[in-house]
């Protein structure tokens, strides 16, 4: 029986084609229907919208994907105190967010039984699972990887028809590949220095090394990916756009706070067709 279920899950996820969801965008500032209608898929902050407002955003056939953080939580989240009661595992100094103790069953239940139902009740088309890297192998929380993997699998089991995009966390793909439709890679062609606040464009060598790394794991686990890059000037954005436009992969370029959603995707996101697939 377990084998049969796994085969069914694999078949469901194999049909997702990111190129058919372009142009796509990510924006965590509140946006209007006119801003999203030029995009096929938009990842946004669900706490800013009511169910009625989500439906207005979807009225132009834009798929709305809700942000959900799994490894960290900001103190402004309504459920921060619920997770705080279970104890945190330190803070991320870049964002001043607390690391969630996923080993704690109640912490996972807060996300699965309280946070997720409120988000999904708004009628979103899927979920963008962020802060997976909070349990990366190089961190002190690497021992939480099995709990993170199980949490992602539980989300898929609860909402099997919804689009699920995992942010980064390539180290988790062996465990999560059947539970997600795609993953996102950030800063492929760009970089951002949190200490200085400087936006950078990666060297050719660095860029191609990262690209080969992505190619290997995307092919190995047969999971497609979206690209998210960052720029603060038109010149940097143009350089990044030209670099990414040759890949035939969905990409979007924004600021590090993801607070801007141009009504015209031109120069910020690409638009692909079904045959435009590959690296």
pLDDT of residue 14: 56
What mean pLDDT value characterizes the chain?
A: 92
User: What pLDDT, on the 0 to 100 scale, is given for residue 15?
Assistant: 77
Residue with the bigger pLDDT between 1 and 246: it is 246
Rounded to an integer, what is the distance from CA 270 to the centroid of its chain?
A: 17
Q: 3-state class of 131 per DSSP?
A: coil
Whether residue 13 is predicted with pLDDT greater than 80 in this model: the reply is no
| CA separation for the pair 271, 32 (Å, rounded) | 21
The answer to whether the beta carbons of residues 264 and 38 sit under 8 Å apart is yes
Please tell me what DSSP assigns to residue 221.
H
**CATH superfamily for domain 2-254:** Aldolase class I (3.20.20.70)
C-beta pairs of 46-51 under 8 Å, 24+ apart in sequence: 46/119, 46/122, 46/124, 47/77, 47/78, 49/122, 50/122, 51/121, 51/122, 51/123
Strands 24-27 and 97-100: unpaired
CA–CA distance, 189 with 62 (Å, rounded to integer) = 27
**Six-digit token string for 222:** 């047969």
Average pLDDT in the 218-223 region?
94
Q: Which helix (H) or strand (E) holds 82?
A: helix 80-84
Q: For the whole model, what pTM was predicted?
A: 0.91
- Kindly tell me if the per-residue pLDDT of 5 is higher than 80: no
Residue range 197-226: average pLDDT?
95
At 96, the pLDDT band (50, 70, 90 cuts) reads confident
Is pLDDT at 261 greater than 60 in this prediction? yes
């Amino acid at each position: 029986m377990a084998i049969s279920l796994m085969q069914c899950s694999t078949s469901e996820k194999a049909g997702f084609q990111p190129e058919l969801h372009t142009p796509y965008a990510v924006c965590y500032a509140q946006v209007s229907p006119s801003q999203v209608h030029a995009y096929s898929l938009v990842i946004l902050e669900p706490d800013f919208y009511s169910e009625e407002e989500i439906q207005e955003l979807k009225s132009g056939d834009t798929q709305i994907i809700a942000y959900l953080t799994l490894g960290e939580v900001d103190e402004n989240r309504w459920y921060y105190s619920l997770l705080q009661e279970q104890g945190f595992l330190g803070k991320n100094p870049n964002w001043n967010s607390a690391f969630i103790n996923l080993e704690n069953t109640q912490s996972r239940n807060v996300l699965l039984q309280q946070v997720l139902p409120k988000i999904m009740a708004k009628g979103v088309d899927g979920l963008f699972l962020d802060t997976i890297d909070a349990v990366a192998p190089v961190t002190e929380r690497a021992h939480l990887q099995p709990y993170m993997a199980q949490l992602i699998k539980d989300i898929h089991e609860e909402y099997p028809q919804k689009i699920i995009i995992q942010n980064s966390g390539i180290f988790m793909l062996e465990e999560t590949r059947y539970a997600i439709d795609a993953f996102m890679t950030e800063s492929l062609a760009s970089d951002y220095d949190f200490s200085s606040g400087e936006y950078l464009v990666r060297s050719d060598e660095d860029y191609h090394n990262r690209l080969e790394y992505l190619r290997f794991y995307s092919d190995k686990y047969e999971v497609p990916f979206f690209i998210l890059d960052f720029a603060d000037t038109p010149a940097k954005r143009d350089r990044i756009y030209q670099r990414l436009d040759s890949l035939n992969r969905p990409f979007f370029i924004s600021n590090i706070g993801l607070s801007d959603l141009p009504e015209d995707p031109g120069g910020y996101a690409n638009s692909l067709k079904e045959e435009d697939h590959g690296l």
